[in-house]
Amino acid sequence: MKTDFTIQYLPIAQQDLEEILTYIEKDNVIAAASFIDEIDQKISQLTQFPYLGTIPKDDRLEKLGYRVLIIKQYIVFYVVKESVIEIRRIFHGRRQYDFLL
């Protein structure tokens, strides 16, 4: 029988998401609401398909078990741990992130 996975955000990932939403809301509240719906929908898919995201091209991140999910211009970094999907960070695709992970 298939077991659904649970989504857990690290506090820093939750902070990343809040900062992204605050930034988008400055220009367009409706776009921010739409974005949160989209990111919630895509991340929720991981409960059924935990390996939906791709393996990063960075050797260090690959060895650490990271996967990446692209949502519009944002990258969600996560790790699958037993029955938990741990959302580690969420960055804009243009941001240098290697030193932050």
- Reported as a single tens digit per residue, the pLDDT across 3-12 is 689 999 999 9
Domains of the chain: 6-93 (3.30.2310.20)
Strand order in the sheet with 6-9: 6-9, 84-92, 74-81, 66-71
Binned at pLDDT 50, 70 and 90, residue 96 comes out as low
**Cα–Cα dist 29/67, whole Å:** 30
Binned at pLDDT 50, 70 and 90, residue 1 comes out as very low
Q: What global pTM score does this model have? A: 0.87
